[in-house]
């Protein structure tokens, strides 16, 4: 393998990893804090992609247009997510009925998909990149698509922002505390309902961000739902439910492994996510450890809850 | 109903009118439609994958079928009977497709079926109609196994199979002996495997026409509907092929091209593959200069009366493949009934086997041994929009006859 090929595959893998991570991070956040397995995550991703095509059609495929879409679409979908959480999901928390939550999010996924077909039709849509993001850069003989580099940089920034908010802000502290002990937070006077709505909105927004980023790379069609959901679940399960660090490590491992596996065989590349998940789950079962840091939303022995109590 | 009269001179004159003559609905009504009550419609069940993986373009299939029915009925129908289209969603799933087909045949008393975009559905329905239903099934699927039952089958294929496509691609590559290192990239489902296998078999050095020294250095199958083909494209570039044969279709072609452009694949090697007009037109930046081929009907390639008819659908539907293929399927059924001078499916089957029918692509033969239509393949170079054709299209077109690839 030449150096150029190595660099090209590494960057391709990183680009894939961060798009995977956004959807998985959203899923993880909702699961970790609210305890809800959001089966509408794939639909949200798809919705983000479709709304991006509309936003670009409205504003134009210029750098400004793309920046506006990058900000506005996730915010809009996040707001929609918050509304759904308040109106529907909140009613299921008290009963702690996971089956009801599963059915609700599944129903939402069908509703979103159906609405997309009604509004946008069944034909696929495409958007183009602004000139500044088209083309590639030559680095040590490898051609790196500019858009992939931007995706990676954005991925790093969003990841850093997630960590900063979770571990450096009061909102993050309360979020982690809610994972540990919701009742204690409530007793302390924290509006847990509002906190949950905010977390759900952020989780949905992250999923939509994945859709925004994928939109210009290919076509936007109703197939996106399943192409996003299954890999996101694999990343979440591999990284550990509710474990954000784990999700990031899983996404990076799977993305890079899949990219290098493609050098040998495309079928092998497609099997890679499942292989990684299987190995990790088996290792976890055998040793009780994940293999990488367990630091995540669930702090040891309710530490966040105690910190929030002051 | 006007009776068709006159001798050879009249027949020649009428033949010059092309499809209009075939579908004039003329002919005596005395004994041809014994299977149907007078005035009863000829029902055609259309399996459209309105949900599922083909849903993106299935509405265009339906539009094409509806247009064909409209055209036939405008000209008086067939043997005094109007066509009636009954559309059902097969969800691109064999169990659903067979259930719908069975319901159409048993409850709906349908004797003619058409449609589906899925070879798996097509295969299942073909087995249903063969025995004992005896229902004519006009279908456009690429799996040659659907038509492997010999001349006794009731199914007719309206598009080249993967075998024909692969053979034609191999002939194209062999015609360029300077291409020594060949890479193939397909989608990871039955069509991709079949066309690549046919291509490889046809490229075997012991086959006639082999230029020698041409080696297939890699074959990859990318996930159908995938969103990131960058690793596979990087691999192709690393292999330094002289030519890449791509059989990614529709949406996946768009994804492949969009991601290959910034990686410089088209600058570093020749690429050719299957591309229909709707696909290249959908690309924000069409791959100008790439050699491509299509057998999907397009009014801008095939300047025939039927192709002209398709323009009524406008835009993507007129230039894409789905509407035209469905149009051909309905026309094949209608022409079969007229040739047989009967609505009895068995007589229609006999009339169509080995016959020549009018399609969007022009006059094409139906092979007697396997009921595959010898649809020509259009090969050319992708060009950007021009004043004359304000959409991405093919130029330097060559229409390739595919009859030579049939082994009857």
Measuring CA to CA, which residue among B288, B313, B282, B284 is closest to residue B299? Answer: B313
Please report whether residue B294 resides in a domain: no
pLDDT number for residue B232: 93
CA–CA dist A193, A203 (Å, integer): 15
What does the pLDDT look like over B83-114, one tens digit per residue?
Answer: 999 999 999 899 999 999 999 999 999 999 99
- B248 domain residue, yes or no: yes
Residue range B284-290: mean pLDDT, rounded: 85
Residue among A126, A143, A265 whose CB faces B254 most closely: A126
Lowest mean pLDDT among A35-44, A287-296, B130-139, B343-352: A287-296
CATH of the domain at A108: 1.10.3470
The C-alpha R_g of chain B, in whole angstroms, comes to: 21
Closest residue of chain B to A139, computed from CA coordinates:
B263
Decide if A2 is inside a domain: no
Q: Quick one: pLDDT at residue B13?
A: 40
pLDDT of residue B268: 92
Task: Please tell me if residue A138 touches chain B, with a CB cutoff of 8 Å.
Answer: no
pLDDT in tens, B23-67: 333 333 333 344 588 889 999 999 998 877 777 788 889 999 999
Q: Are residues B18 and B131 in the same domain?
A: yes
In a domain, A203, yes or no: yes
Confirm or reject contact between A308 and chain B (CB < 8 A): no
B282/A13 touch (CB, cutoff 8 Å), yes or no: no
Contact residues, chain B, for A2 at CB < 8 Å: 238
| Contact yes or no for B55 and A222 at CB 8 A | yes
Q: What is the DSSP letter of B388?
A: S
Residue corresponding to tokens 């006794």: B152
Closest chain A residue to B184, measured at CA: A266
Domain final position from B349, B365, B381: B365
Q: Are residues B135 and B172 in the same domain?
A: no
Answer yes or no: is the ipTM higher than 0.90: no
CA distances from A194 to A27, A37, A85, A96 (A): 19, 19, 10, 18
- Packing angle, helices B345-352 and B322-340, rounded to 10: 110
pLDDT, mean of residues B176-204: 93
Residue numbers of A between 55 and 94 with CB closer than 8 Å to B: 61
Task: State whether B259 and B149 are in the same domain.
Answer: no
pLDDT at A42 over 50: yes
pLDDT at A199 over 60: yes
Average pLDDT over residues B375-391: 86
Q: Say whether both B98 and B121 belong to one domain.
A: yes
Contact map slice: A 235-264 vs B, CB within 8 A: 258-263
pLDDT at B205: 65
- Residue A305 in this model has a pLDDT that exceeds 70: no
Tell me if B259 and A218 make a contact (CB, 8 A cut-off).
yes
B132 and B232 housed in the same domain: no
Strands in B116-164 per DSSP E: 136-139, 155-157
Tell whether B168 and B201 lie within a shared domain: yes
Q: Identify which of A143, A259, A269 has the shortest CB distance to residue B264.
A: A143
User: Which residues on neighbouring strands pair with residue B379, listed in sequence order?
Assistant: B293, B398
Alpha-carbon distance of A211 to A233, in angstroms, equals 16
CATH number, domain at B273? 3.40.50.2300
What was the pLDDT predicted at A276? 94
Query: Measured between alpha carbons, how far is residue B15 from residues B248, B361, B363 in Å?
Result: 39, 17, 12
Torsional class of B337: left (φ above 0), alpha (ψ -120 to 50), beta (otherwise): alpha
- Asked whether residue B114 is assigned to any structural domain, the reply reads yes
Same domain? B152 vs B171: no
User: Tokens 């004519």, residue?
Assistant: B136
The total number of structural domains that make up chain B: 2
Interface residue A146 vs chain B (CB under 8 A): yes
Asked if residue B174 belongs to a domain, the reply is yes
Cα–Cα dist A162/A202, whole Å: 10
B53 and B120 inside one domain: yes
> Average of pLDDT values for A125-142?
88
pLDDT band at A304 (very low <50, low <70, confident <90, very high): low
How far apart are alpha carbons A189 and A310 in whole angstroms?
A: 13
What are the tens digits of pLDDT across the range A229-241? 899 999 999 998 8
Q: What integer pLDDT is reported at residue A215 of this predicted model? A: 93
CA dist A48 and A206 (Å) reads 10
pLDDT at A56: 92
Q: Does the beta carbon of A165 lie under 8 angstroms from any beta carbon of chain B?
A: no
- Expressed as residue numbers, the domain containing A217 is 8-309
Task: Answer yes or no: do B103 and B193 share one domain.
Answer: no
Angstroms from B310 CA to nearest CA on chain A: 18
pLDDT above 90 coverage of chain B, percent: 55
Indicate whether B341 and B280 sit together in one domain: no
Residue A152, both tokens: 């990676």
pLDDT given for residue B366 in this prediction: 94
For residue B132, what pLDDT band results from cuts at 50, 70 and 90? low
> Which pLDDT score, from 0 to 100, does residue B7 have?
40
Q: How much is the pLDDT for B24?
A: 32
Residue B155 DSSP SS3: strand
B388 belongs to a structural domain: no
Which residue does chain A place closest to B58, by CA atoms? A122
Assigned domain for B374 exists: no
Contact assessment for residue B184 and residue B162, using Cβ atoms and an 8 Å cutoff: no
Distance between CA atoms of residues A308 and A295, nearest Å: 18
Q: Are B315 and B184 members of one domain?
A: no
CB-nearest partner of A221 from B50, B251, B264: B251
pLDDT reading at A221 higher than 80: yes
The answer as to whether B201 is a domain residue is yes
Tens of pLDDT, residues A72-97: 999 999 999 999 999 988 888 777 67
Note whether A263 contacts B238, CB cutoff 8 Å: yes
The reply to whether B46 and B78 lie within a common domain is yes
Where does the pLDDT of residue A174 fall: very low under 50, low under 70, confident under 90, or very high at 90 and above?
confident
Whether A55 shows a pLDDT value over 70: the answer reads yes
In a domain, A1, yes or no: no
The answer to whether B271 and B292 are in contact (CB under 8 A) is no
User: Domain count of chain A?
Assistant: 1
DSSP B78: B
Average pLDDT over residues A210-215: 93
Cβ-defined contact of B258 to A216 (cutoff 8 Å): yes
**Worst-scoring range by mean pLDDT, A157-161, A302-306, B149-153, B292-296?**
A302-306
Say what the pLDDT of residue B402 is: 86
Rounded Cα–Cα distance for residues B61 and B79 (Å): 25
Residue A43: is its pLDDT beyond 70?
Answer: yes
Domain range holding B95?
8-160+303-365
pLDDT > 90? residue B325:
yes
Let me know if residue B385 belongs to a domain: no
Sheet with B136-139, strands from edge to edge, namely B83-89, B42-48, B112-115, B136-139, B155-157
* B50 interaction partners in chain A (CB closer than 8 Å): 122
pLDDT at A248 over 80: yes
């Amino acid at each position: 393998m030449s150096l150029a090929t190595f660099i090209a595959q590494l960057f391709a893998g990183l680009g894939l990893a961060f798009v995977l991570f956004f959807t998985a991070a959203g899923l993880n956040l909702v699961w970790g804090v609210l305890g809800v397995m959001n089966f509408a995550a794939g639909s949200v991703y798809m919705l983000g992609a479709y709304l991006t095509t509309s936003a670009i059609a409205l504003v134009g495929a210029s750098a400004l247009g793309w920046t506006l879409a990058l900000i506005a679409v996730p915010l809009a979908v996040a707001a929609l997510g918050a509304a759904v959480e308040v109106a529907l999901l909140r009613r299921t928390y008290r009963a702690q009925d996971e089956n009801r939550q599963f059915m609700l999010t599944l129903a939402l996924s069908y509703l979103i998909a159906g609405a997309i077909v009604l509004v946008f039709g069944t034909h696929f849509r495409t958007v183009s990149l602004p000139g500044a993001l088209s083309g590639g850069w030559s680095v040590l003989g490898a051609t790196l698509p500019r858009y992939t580099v931007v995706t990676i940089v954005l991925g790093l920034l969003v990841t850093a922002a997630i960590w900063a908010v979770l571990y450096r802000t009061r909102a993050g502290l309360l979020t982690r505390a809610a994972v540990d002990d919701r009742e204690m937070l409530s007793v302390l006077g924290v509006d847990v309902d509002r906190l949950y709505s905010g977390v759900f909105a952020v989780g949905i927004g992250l999923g939509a961000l994945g859709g925004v980023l994928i939109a210009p790379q290919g076509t936007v069609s109703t197939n996106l739902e399943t192409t996003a959901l299954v890999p996101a679940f694999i990343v979440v399960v591999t990284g550990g439910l509710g474990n954000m660090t784990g999700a990031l490590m899983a996404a990076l491992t799977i993305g890079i492994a899949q990219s290098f596996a493609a050098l040998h065989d495309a079928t092998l590349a497609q099997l890679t996510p499942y292989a990684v998940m299987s190995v990790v789950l088996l290792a976890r079962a055998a040793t009780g450890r994940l293999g990488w840091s367990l630091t995540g939303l669930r702090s040891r022995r309710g530490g966040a809850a105690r910190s929030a109590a002051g | 109903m006007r009776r068709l009269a006159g001798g050879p001179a009249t027949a020649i004159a009428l033949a010059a009118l092309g499809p209009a003559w075939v579908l004039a609905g003329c002919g005596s009504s005395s004994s041809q439609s014994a299977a149907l009550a007078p005035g009863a419609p000829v029902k055609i069940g259309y399996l459209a994958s309105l949900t599922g993986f083909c849903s993106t373009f299935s509405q265009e299939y339906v539009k094409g079928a509806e247009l064909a029915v409209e055209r036939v009925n405008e000209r008086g129908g067939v043997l005094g009977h109007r066509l009636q289209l009954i559309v059902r969603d097969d969800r691109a799933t064999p169990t659903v497709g067979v259930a719908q087909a069975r319901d159409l045949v048993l409850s709906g008393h349908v004797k003619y079926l058409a449609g589906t975009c899925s070879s798996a559905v097509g295969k299942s329905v073909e087995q249903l109609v063969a025995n004992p239903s005896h229902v004519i099934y006009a279908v456009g699927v690429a799996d040659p196994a659907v038509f492997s039952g010999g001349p006794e089958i009731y199914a007719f294929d309206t598009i080249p199979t993967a075998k024909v496509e692969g053979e034609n691609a191999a002939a194209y590559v062999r015609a360029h002996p300077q291409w020594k290192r060949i890479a193939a990239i397909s989608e990871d489902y039955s069509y991709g495997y079949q066309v690549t296998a046919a291509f490889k078999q046809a490229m075997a050095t012991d086959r006639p026409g082999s230029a020698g020294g041409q080696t297939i250095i890699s074959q990859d199958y990318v996930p159908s509907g995938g969103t990131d083909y960058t690793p596979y494209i990087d691999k192709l570039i690393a292999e330094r092929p002289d030519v890449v044969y791509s059989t990614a279709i529709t949406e996946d072609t768009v994804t492949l091209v969009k991601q290959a452009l910034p990686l410089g694949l088209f600058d570093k090697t020749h690429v050719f593959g299957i591309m229909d007009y709707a696909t290249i037109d959908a690309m924000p930046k069409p791959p100008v200069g790439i050699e491509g081929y299509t057998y999907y009907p397009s009014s801008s390639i095939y300047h025939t009366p039927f192709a002209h008819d398709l323009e009524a659908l406008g835009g993507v539907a007129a230039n894409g493949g789905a509407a035209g293929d469905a149009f051909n399927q309905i026309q094949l059924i209608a022409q079969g009934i007229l040739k047989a001078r009967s609505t009895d499916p068995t007589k229609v089957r006999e009339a169509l086997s080995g016959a020549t029918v009018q399609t969007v692509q022009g006059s094409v033969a139906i092979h007697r041994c396997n009921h595959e239509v010898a649809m020509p393949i259009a090969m050319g170079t992708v060009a950007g929009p021009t004043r004359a054709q304000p959409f991405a299209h093919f130029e330097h077109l060559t229409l390739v006859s595919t009859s030579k690839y049939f082994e009857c």
